[in-house]
A and B are shown apart, each in its own frame.
Chain A
Amino acid sequence: QKEVEQNSGPLSVPEGAIASLNCTYSDRGSQSFFWYRQYSGKSPELIMFIYSNGDKEDGRFTAQLNKASQYVSLLIRDSQPSDSATYLCAVNDREYGNKLVFGAGTILRVKS
């Protein structure tokens, strides 16, 4: 059973700080990784997609992938109250084509 683990939180950070969200996965052969943001009552919104070791930056967001250690993280710089949401980590299950395996999500609260 392939698994994706996330700390459920809540993670509380002050406005303007860096929020660091972490995710570990069990399948060493996984190749594609996703971070989604989900506001209460809404559908998941894709924030970052990464498949190569190292960092990928997009605006205030940076995804970091370390395949040897089987973890992927998301950094949010200059956190804003509007970033308060649940962040879902997902891993592509390579045995099932386009199936995504999701973690339970981390609740982020940015306090102004």
Chain B
Amino acid sequence: KAGVTQTPRYLIKTRGQQVTLSCSPISGHRSVSWYQQTPGQGLQFLFEYFSETQRNKGNFPGRFSGRQFSNSRSEMNVSTLELGDSALYLCASRGGGGTEAFFGQGTRLTVV
């Protein structure tokens, strides 16, 4: 059974650019959540998508957005990148509420 797949694994972008990250959840899972991990803030919740609808959103600026497609694959976009956006971005796949959450390998974003 395939796990959670995130692409790309590494990205280097310049301040002011935008970036799109992709996440393919475990087959059959309809919930995809995105998290940002930094050494100073730990793991912070960005947003969750379920059946193509954003259900929840964390405390991040509007530069962070996402969407989910009918096959449950999800993308997140960060516009007007700032140095502070450098982080490991993780997506978590779940089958439903109250079930296990499995993470992908993450995308390491570096903003220079």
Q: Do A and B come from one complex?
A: yes
Q: Are B106 and A43 in contact (CB under 8 A)?
A: yes
Q: Are B103 and A98 in contact (CB under 8 A)?
A: no
Q: How large is the interface on A (under 10, 10 to 19, 20 to 34, 35 or more residues)?
A: 20 to 34
Inter-chain contacts of A59 with B (CB < 8 A): none
Binds B, one of A44-52, A62-70, A76-84: A44-52
Inter-chain contacts of A42 with B (CB < 8 A): 105-106
Inter-chain contacts of A101 with B (CB < 8 A): 45
Interface flag for A34 (CB, 8 Å): yes
Q: Are B106 and A98 in contact (CB under 8 A)?
A: no
Number of interface residues of B (CB under 8 A): 26
Q: Are B56 and A96 in contact (CB under 8 A)?
A: yes
Interface flag for A28 (CB, 8 Å): no
Q: For the complex, what is the distance from the CA of A44 to the CA of B103, rounded to whole Å?
A: 6
Q: Are A98 and B56 in contact (CB under 8 A)?
A: yes
What is the distance, in angstroms, from A12's C-beta to the closest C-beta of chain B? 21
Which 6 pairs of residues, A with B, have the shortest CB-CB distance? Answer: A102-B43, A96-B56, A43-B106, A43-B103, A49-B100, A104-B42
20 A-B pairs (CB sep. < 8 Å)? A34-B101, A36-B103, A44-B90, A44-B103, A46-B101, A88-B43, A90-B101, A92-B98, A97-B48, A97-B50, A98-B31, A98-B33, A98-B48, A98-B55, A98-B97, A98-B101, A100-B43, A102-B42, A103-B42, A104-B42
